[in-house]
Structure 1
Amino acid sequence: MANEEKKIWGIHTKDDNLFLKENVIAIGWHEMGDLSKIEANRDAFKEKYTATYSDAKKGSIATGAGMLYRFCYEAQIGDYVVFPSIINREVNIGVVEGTYVYDPSQPDYVQTRKVKWLKHLPRTAFSQGALYEIGSAMSFFTVKNYADEFMAALDKDFKKNYSSDSEDDSVGATAEDIIENTADFILKELSRKLKGYDLENFVADLLRAMGYRTKVSPQGGDSGIDITAYKDELPPRILVQVKNQNGDINETTIQSLKGAMREGDYGLFVTLSNYTKNAQKYLESTPIIRGINGTELVDLILKYYEDLSEKYRKMIPLKKVYIPVSKEE
C-alpha cells in the first residue's frame, strides 16, 4: 500500500454538512469534555469514561474509551480519512491536517480535527467489500482490509466503477461476513441472556414456531428431559434435552438422553456449542436422536424468526434485509 506509514481511518456522522462544509471530522461524547486534559493512555480514558457514564456496560467502556483515545492521540496529521456521507451517498477521502481540538460551541460533535477533503466519489466506484468495511458499527475505526482500494482512488487516473459490467469479486466475501456477524450476534445474545431453564423455554418456543406442540418439564423433576414435543395429537413423542455450556457435548451426555427414552420415542439434543467427535459418531449411529449445534440452531432461528414469540424477537432484534451474493450462489 502507498504511504505505508500513514493510517487510514473510517468515520461516521449524522451531520454530513459539518464535515463537508467546515472541513472537519468530529465525534460526540460531549460529557467527556476536553480529551486533551486526560492523561494520554487507554487506562486513563477508561477511568474517565467509567466516571462519566456510570451506567455504561463493561464492553461499551472499552469500545467508547478506545475510540476517543484513538481520535485524540493515535490519529496523526497526514493520516487519511474515509467518510461515507448519507446526504449524497458519496465516499469522501481526506487527509488529517490538524491536531485534536475540543470545540464546545458544537451542539453534538465537540471532539474535532481539521481535514482536507481530497476526493468525493460515488459509492458505485468501490467494491461491495470496501463499502461494507466502512459501514462499521463504530463511529471511528481503522480501515485495514480494503485500505489499498481507497488509496488507489486518490490516483488521478482512478476510474474504477463497480456499477459497470465488471464482476465485483468481493460480493461473496461480503455476504459471508454479514451472515457470520449475524450468527455471532444471535449466539452471543442467547448465551448472555438465556441461562438454564430460560434457554429451555426459548427452544420450546422455537419448536412451537416450527409447528410442534411443546411442554417444558417442571424444574428439577424432568429426569433429564427438558421438553416434550409432539408434531400432532398422536405419537411419536420427541424428548428434548437442552444444554448451554462452553465446552462441546460428549457422548456420555447424549447417552443419558437415550436412557430416558422409551420404545417409539425420538430424541432431540440442542446445544449452543458443538459435539465432540465421539458424540458426533454416536449421533450418526443412533438415527432416532438428532443433535443440533449452535450453527444449526441459528439457521432455524433465522428461518422461523417471524413466528417466534414477541418476547424473543425483542430479545434478539433482527431486521430482514436482502444482501448481494455471488452469481454462483
Structure 2
Amino acid sequence: MSNIDEKWLWGIHTYDDNLFLNEGVIAIGWKEFGDISRFPADREAIKKEYALTYPNDPKGSIPTCAGMLYRFCFEVKDGDYVVYPSKIDRMINIGIVQGSYFYDSAEDVYPQKHNIKWIKKLPRTAFSQGALYEVGSALAFFTVKNYADEFIAALDNDFVKKNKSEKIDPTVGATAEEIIQSTRDFILKELSSKLKGYDLEDFIADLLNAMGYRTSVSQHGGDSGIDIIAYKDELPPRIAVQVKSQDSDIKETTIQSLKGAMMPGDYGLFVTLSNYTKNAQVFLKANPIIRGINGVELVDLILKYYDQLSEKYQKIIPLKKVYIPVSSNND
C-alpha cells in the first residue's frame, strides 16, 4: 500500500458511476457475503467464510476476493485517499474517505460502502501513461503503489499546467512493456491450465497448421515418442514432433527419446511450456536436426499466428488486438 503522510491511497472501479458520483460513496459488491464487520479483523476467517458463501468460485480467486473484502472493511480508514476512474465521462476522480465502513442492506449490487468526499476531477490526459495503467487494474478494489505521488500531486492547482509542459512521458515505454509481459503471462497460464497432455498436442498441431504445415496427430495413448507428424508440403522432410506440458524443465534423456523415434531423414521438433535443462540445451546444440521450442518462444509463435488459429483455440486463449503507445526512443 502507498502511505501518504499516514494515509493510504486506494483505487476502485464500478459499473455504477452514478452511485459513486451522485451519492458520495465508494462501494464493492458480494451482497451474499453480508456485513463484513461481523467478523474479527482476521484474513483467514474472511477467506473461510468466502469459500463457504461462494462454493462455485474458482479456488484461485478466493484469496483475491476475500482480500478485497478484508481491506475494504478493516484497512480503509477515515481520511484515506481514493482514486476512481469514471467511465461515464472518462475522468479521474480523487476523493477522501469520510467515516468508517458500513453495510447497506437496501443496496442490491454494491452493499459494502464507505462515504467519500470527492475533491478533484481531472481528465485522463493530465496523467502519465504509467499512472493510468496502474489505476486500470483488473481488480475492483486495490492499492495504488507505483504512482501514488502523482495522484496526490494532482491535488495541486498547477498540476495540469506542469504536466502539459513536459514533452515526453517517461512512463510510456515501461507501460507498454508491462502490457506485453502481462499478455505473455496470460497466454502461458491459459495453456498450462486448459491444455494439458493430449489437449496441448492438438493445439500444437493447430498452431503448425496456422504456420502452413500439414499435420497428423498420433493416436492418443501410443508410446512411439512422436506426438505429431508434420510436412511443409507433399515432399520430405518429415518433421517428428514431441509435446510436453509438464511444469518442470525438459531433461536431455527426454529429447533423446524423440531422436530415437525419428527415422533417417527426419527432422525433430520438441515443444514445451517450460524450458530445457543445461544438459538438454547442450544436446540440442549438438543435434541441429532437432529444434527445441520453450514456453517463451511458443508464446511468440502464438502471437504471430494468432489470427490463423482455429476459432476453438482463439476462444480458449481470448486476445484482442490493440495499439499501445511506445517510447519514441525505440525508433
State the TM bucket, normalised to the shorter chain: over 0.9
Taking a change above 3 Å as real, the CA distance of residues 286 and 51 of structure 1, as seen in their structure-2 partners, is same
Amino acid at match of 1:76: K
Amino acid at match of 1:194: L
- The corresponding residue for 1:183 is 184
Displacement, 1:2?
7.6
- The corresponding residue for 1:229 is 230
- The corresponding residue for 1:65 is 66
SS in 2 for 1:19: helix
Contact preservation (8 Å) 2:3, 2:9: no
SS in 2 for 1:180: helix
SS in 2 for 1:312: helix
- The corresponding residue for 2:125 is 124
Contact preservation (8 Å) 1:249, 1:274: yes
**In percent, how many aligned pairs have the same letter?**
70
State the distance in 1 between where 2:326 and 2:237 align: 40
Displacement, 1:47?
2.1
- The corresponding residue for 2:241 is 240
Displacement, 1:4?
3.8
State the distance in 2 between where 1:160 and 1:199 align: 53
SS in 1 for 2:64: helix
- The corresponding residue for 1:275 is 276
Taking a change above 3 Å as real, the CA distance of residues 284 and 210 of structure 1, as seen in their structure-2 partners, is same
**Mapping for residues 73-112 of structure 1, pairs under 5 Å:** 73-112=74-113
SS in 1 for 2:182: helix
Taking a change above 3 Å as real, the CA distance of residues 204 and 164 of structure 1, as seen in their structure-2 partners, is farther
Displacement, 1:308?
1.4
SS in 1 for 2:258: helix
Taking a change above 3 Å as real, the CA distance of residues 158 and 274 of structure 1, as seen in their structure-2 partners, is same
Amino acid at match of 1:114: N
Contact preservation (8 Å) 2:33, 2:50: yes
Tell me which moved more, 304-313 or 11-20: 304-313
Displacement, 1:175?
0.9
- Where do 5+ consecutive residues of structure 1 fail to align? none
State the distance in 1 between where 2:312 and 2:193 align: 16
1:212 maps onto 2:213 in alignment: yes
| Deviation per residue, 1:283-325 (Å, 9 max, x gap) | 2232211111101111111111122122211111111111111
Displacement, 1:9?
0.5
The aligned length equals 329
- The corresponding residue for 1:296 is 297
Output the TM-score relative to the length of structure 1: 0.95
Taking a change above 3 Å as real, the CA distance of residues 88 and 208 of structure 1, as seen in their structure-2 partners, is same
State the distance in 2 between where 1:176 and 1:264 align: 42
| Deviation per residue, 1:21-74 (Å, 9 max, x gap) | 221111111111212112321122112212221211111111111101110111
State the distance in 2 between where 1:164 and 1:289 align: 56
SS in 1 for 2:159: coil
State the distance in 1 between where 2:139 and 2:3 align: 25
- Where do 5+ consecutive residues of structure 2 fail to align? none
SS in 1 for 2:319: coil
Taking a change above 3 Å as real, the CA distance of residues 160 and 283 of structure 1, as seen in their structure-2 partners, is farther
State the distance in 1 between where 2:231 and 2:184 align: 28
| Deviation per residue, 1:225-254 (Å, 9 max, x gap) | 110000111111000011111221122222
**Mapping for residues 21-170 of structure 1, pairs under 5 Å:** 21-159=22-160, 166-170=167-171
State the distance in 2 between where 1:280 and 1:324 align: 36
1:18 maps onto 2:22 in alignment: no
The CA RMSD measured in Å over matched residues stands at 1.7
Amino acid at match of 1:216: V
SS in 2 for 1:234: coil
SS in 2 for 1:54: coil
Amino acid at match of 1:286: N
State the distance in 2 between where 1:47 and 1:196 align: 33
Amino acid at match of 1:224: G
